[in-house]
Structure 1
Amino acid sequence: MTLRPTVHVLEPIHPTAMERLAEGANILGPEAPFPSKCDAVIVRARKITAADVAACPRLRVIGKHGAGLDAIDVAAAEARGIAVLSTPGANADSVADLAVGFSLALLRNIHGATLALKAGKTLERHERQGWDLNEIEIGIFGLGSIGRATAARMINGFGASVRAFDPGLPEASWPQGVTRAASLEDLLQSSRLLIIHAPLVPDTRNAIDAYALDMMPEGAFLVNCARGGIVDEPALAAALKSGRIAGAATDVFAEEPPAADNPLLACPNLLATPHLGGATNGALLRVGRSIVDQVIAQLSVTASGAKGASDTNTKEN
């Protein structure tokens, strides 16, 4: 008799995905203590450390509900032969929509105008006059599935001019209508609105620091729907307070949730959300189904491999 694997779901996922998971596995929910005697784990934002990996003796699969693996100790998992799976691109449309929404909110000062109206204050002329998306140069740092989705919305939906920098994307895959910047510095110098969709890797950590922000045009805007850690938060706070950067919006922070004394939180020209770029019903359904299907399939493969090895050992003995 084949035993059903146990999958520990550390954070809530879409109910439809949970139903699908229950068809092929026993489930431990977020309320169950972790580490546990699970065969697989599905995680959204929670960190999976080397200690977690070591404390789960039966663990064979780690499924990331999303794309970024920076919160998972992949090296520790691979050293144990544990498969690490993710869902790149499954929530691209939802995150791109948020990036566009942030951009419109910044360029039209929606948040500032709302607060002024509620307080009975009259807006200054510069606070009333916004910008059309198609009259400024838009730069996108990172052209993965989310960056390409954002570019398509800006170009096809708003007739905007878009440049981008992504050294890892080959020319054959470069999206039509997007001008390729020669370097990050080249992109920064021309971007009145910079949208960040790059992964957090050693080369991108603190890539947008004080020096980078100074390269941007005076009064530019910045949107980060990628990862905390790409933007130097104290440097951005200083640029926002001085007016060097007119406004910024971020869905991510280097520390999540951000500490109460994070300097960005004191900036009135900052819009912020708690890492919910992929938190739409459609995205959660797509991502949940994708990671559940991958985890169940991988567990089946590893179970078959273990059985084959056991059979071989039995015959040899």
Structure 2
Amino acid sequence: MTIRVLAAGDHFVQNRLFIDAIRREVPGDVEIRELTLPWPVVPFGRVGEVDEASDVEDELIEALRGVEVCVTQMAPLTKRVLDACPELKLFCVSRGGPVNANLDAASEAGVAVTFAPGRNAVATAEHTLAMLLAATRRIPQTHADLAGGVWRGDYYTYDNVGPELEGATAGLIGYGAIGRRVARMLEGFGAEVLVYDPYVEISGQVELAELLERSRFLSLHARATPETIGMIGAPQIAAMPAGSVIVNCARGSLLDYDALCDALDSGHLFGAAMDVFPEEPIPAGSRLLTTPNLVMTPHLAGASKETAMNAATIVAGDVARYVRKEPLKHWANPAALIS
């Protein structure tokens, strides 16, 4: 029996990666259609009732006609799409979380949704460390000055130089696949690593208040949940030692960015490095664009060739399990009853 699959890739997790992985992993006869989404050339946004998706409902509905399985990164699985595509049974999101899928509506429609946890753990951990070093050693600012023909000897003054990692205390909020890798890297630099994560059990974990009071470096790795929104605000930043550095390569909702800017303006923070923001793209006129000693990248921490290949391979594995009628490995809505 032929399984009809739609590869709805984009310019990062490309269709050729999905197709190669499916051909490699999936047994039997597979017919694969293609739809290329515009991300990241066109930013994602809210589509219908789902977040962080490409606005392609009409094109997706047309491409899904007669299709049983969809593999994608940014396609919107909305109630409108589900109502229009009754033959769809499996929707595989090649991301760490299926935020672009309406899980309740998918469950009611009998559509299983899977995702790809850990796909970008190595890339994000490496980017986190690069951002921490860039902020601490003023790398973007000094490069910009030199590129502009200015040799700034004052960067060598005591008040303008940053702390070393060796012998320093670094605090991690969140200790999943990314946090664990960042911890190993920091320990390799000779830092003492403190961890706060109420969702994991590890020896030596400390309370958040202690972590903040002791940490010269703070890196955020928690998931965005109702409990973590704004968890680092003005009181938490004020509790950190003067001259500290904060890095956020997780989610913009974890941090109060106005409080961050205040602490950078006052000099309480030596520096900060952000890959995620409360609004993306950053709007014109935002304080973030003029606050000193702030290093920024446009939500690129998880971007590597290996991440894209991992994403395709992980979802292809669940497509293969579906075809073999085995339990799905990364099932986001096990309440869905697949007929």
- State whether TM-score is above 0.5: yes
- Which of 286, 295, 310 lines up with 1:262 in the alignment? 286
Structure 1, unmatched stretches of 5+, are: 303-308, 311-317
> What residue in structure 2 maps to residue 163 of structure 1?
194
**Aligned AA (1:237):** C
Write 1 or 2 for the structure with the bigger share of helix. Answer: 1
Displacement, 1:291? 1.5
Structure 2 unmatched runs, 5+: 25-29, 38-55, 327-337
User: Who is 1:4 aligned against?
Assistant: 3
1:65 aligns with 2:89: no
Q: Which amino acid aligns with 1:21?
A: I
CA contact (8 A) 1:10 1:41 kept: no
Q: Which structure 2 residues correspond to residues 13-162 of structure 1 after superposition, within 5 A?
A: 13-14=13-14, 15-21=16-22, 24-31=30-37, 33-36=59-62, 37=64, 38-45=67-74, 48-119=77-148, 120-124=150-154, 125-126=157-158, 129-155=161-187, 157-162=188-193
RMSD across aligned C-alpha pairs, in angstroms? 2.6
Deviation at 1:259, TM superposition (A): 2.2
Q: Percent of pairs identical after alignment?
A: 30
- Tell whether the 8 Å contact from 2:9 to 2:18 is kept in structure 1 after alignment: no
Larger RCO (CA under 8 A, 6+ residues apart): 2
Deviations 1:58-83 (A, max 9, x none): 33222222213344332332332322
Equivalent residue letter for 1:35? I
Do the aligned residues in 1 keep the contact of 2:170 with 2:193 (CA within 8 Å)? Answer: yes
Normalising to structure 1: TM-score of the pair? Answer: 0.83
**Residue 289 (1) aligns with residue 313 (2):** yes
Q: Structure 1 stretch 32-41 or stretch 271-280: which is displaced more?
A: 32-41
- Structure 1 residues 298, 129: closer, same or farther in 2, change over 3 A? same
Between the aligned partners of 2:259 and 2:93, the Cα distance in structure 1 is 31
The offset of 1:187, in angstroms, is 1.7
Q: Residue 7 of structure 2 contacts residue 19 of structure 2 at CA under 8 Å; is this kept in 1?
A: no
Q: Which runs of 4+ in 1 moved over 6 A?
A: none
- Once residues 36 and 68 of structure 2 are traced to their aligned partners in structure 1, the CA distance between those partners, rounded to angstroms, is 15
**Residue 277 (str. 1) matches residue 301 (str. 2):** yes
Counterparts of residues 200-219 of structure 1 (less than 5 Å): 200-219=224-243
Distance change (3 Å), C-alpha of 1:237 and 1:151:
same
In structure 2, relative to structure 1, the CA distance for the partners of 1:285 and 1:128 (3 Å cut) is same
**Counterpart code for 2:68:** D
Distance 2:267 2:86 in 1: 53
Query: Contact 1:116/1:123 (CA < 8 Å) preserved in 2?
Result: no
Aligned residues: 295
Deviations 1:126-183 (A, max 9, x none): 465232212321000000011001101111x212100010111123xx5xxxx4112x
Q: How does 1:211-230 map to 2 (within 5 A)?
A: 211-230=235-254
Distance 1:46 1:255 in 2: 20
Residue 82 to residue 244, structure 1, CA distance change in 2 (3 Å) = farther
Letter in 2 for 1:91: N
- Separation in 1, partners of 2:293, 2:112: 43
Q: CA deviation at 1:202?
A: 0.9
> Which residue identity does 1:227 align to in structure 2?
R
